[in-house]
Amino acid sequence: MLCIATPRYEAESRFFVQSGSGQQGGGGGAASLLTTGNMGGMLGGFVDGWAVRDFLQSRDAMQQLDQKVGLRQYLIHTGMDPLNHLSEDSSEDDLYRAYKASVQVSFNALEQIDVLRVSAFSSEHAAILSKALIGLAEEFVSTMNEKGVADKLKVSEESVKRAEKKALAARDALTAWRTTHGNIDPTATVAMLLNLSSQLEGELSSAQINLDKIRALGNKDHFMLKPAELQVAALNKRISAVRRRLSGEGNTEATQLKSYEALRNTQAFADSNLTLAQQSYQQAVTDTLRLQRYLSIIAQPVPTDRPSSPRTGILLLQALALGFVLMFISRVAMALLRGLRHG
């Protein structure tokens, strides 16, 4: 059977995936590599460009496009083209084959540009399908952003949460200690007692000198002897009490200071870890901004005014073949008529 090709119109669009760090395609990939040595950004452009290409050629993209615009109505042709077997009752496999025949996506690795070519039975349909596919590509890139950001921030967020819990527990433990011991700052208490001990020792030294002077007089009945002895004894007793309070046995200031310093060091360490975790999280947020991608359109889909297929040469060949067929049929018919007349 002779195949008569149905005219199809094509719409071509060009785009690339741009990252938030400023790394871009559109001919900038190779230039960036040569001028800055940015191999990481170039490889990222390769990965993103191939990912968008593979998505647009996938069955998933076909299904999303079908849900978005009703794909069958644009791929079914009511003409007499025997190559067009798609109908409303066709299977999804038939629809996917028709989709792949109408949608061609290529990736220019050097310039990092995706080229989308869509053919349809009218220029209007080609433009509609092209714009819808570009919308799907933008949604796909947005989905890549969400996954990249989620993966990047997940570890940092968990670290911050753990650090916050530990810092809160350390503060609660320190507050409970202060409430139990009735002492806000044992360090200040110990410093006060050390200062008091130093003052008492100075007073004791002066009192002892005074007592020695009185004794040097050799008068056991001296009216200042007894008060001087009592002063020295009182100062010694006071100094001993201060020293026992500082470092004696039981619940002394030294013991309290040891437990207090342990809790305070734990809190300081937890607060330091929390600060580092928060800084790491902020850095992760900054890094994720560089992971952000968006689709940058270089050329919008403008459909052709004239059919892109079949080509003029093909049409001429088909017309020539049709002419030969018609001529052959006419000669066969004429031969049959002559045979009937002579018979």
Q: Does one domain contain both 183 and 96?
A: no
pLDDT confidence of residue 20: 62
Tell me, yes or no, whether 1 lies in a domain: no
On whether the CB atoms of residues 141 and 17 are closer than 8 A, the answer is yes
Tell me, yes or no, whether 78 lies in a domain: yes
Phi/psi for 175 (5° steps) reads -65, -40
Q: Does one domain contain both 210 and 317?
A: no
Phi-psi region of 295 (alpha: psi -120 to 50; beta: other; left: phi over 0): beta
pLDDT confidence of residue 115: 92
Tell me, yes or no, whether 2 lies in a domain: no
Tell me, yes or no, whether 226 lies in a domain: yes
Q: Does one domain contain both 44 and 138?
A: yes
Q: Does one domain contain both 271 and 296?
A: no
Q: Does one domain contain both 172 and 199?
A: yes
Q: Does one domain contain both 275 and 325?
A: no
Q: Does one domain contain both 276 and 181?
A: yes
pTM of the predicted protein model? 0.52
Q: Does one domain contain both 109 and 169?
A: no
Tell me, yes or no, whether 169 lies in a domain: yes
Tell me, yes or no, whether 254 lies in a domain: yes
Q: Does one domain contain both 140 and 200?
A: no
Q: Does one domain contain both 99 and 222?
A: no
Q: Does one domain contain both 194 and 224?
A: yes
Per-residue pLDDT of the chain (343 residues; tens, 9 = 90+): 444 456 778 889 999 888 765 545 454 444 443 333 344 444 455 678 888 999 999 999 999 999 999 888 888 765 544 445 566 777 888 889 889 989 999 998 888 899 999 988 888 888 999 999 999 998 888 887 776 666 667 778 888 889 899 999 988 988 888 888 777 777 777 777 778 878 888 988 888 898 888 888 888 888 888 888 888 888 888 887 777 776 766 566 777 777 888 888 988 999 999 899 888 888 877 777 666 777 888 888 877 666 655 555 555 666 677 777 778 787 777 777 777 776 5
Q: Does one domain contain both 20 and 138?
A: yes
Supply the range of the domain harboring residue 195: 156-287
Total of domains in the chain: 3
Beta bridge partners of 106: 115
Tell me, yes or no, whether 265 lies in a domain: yes
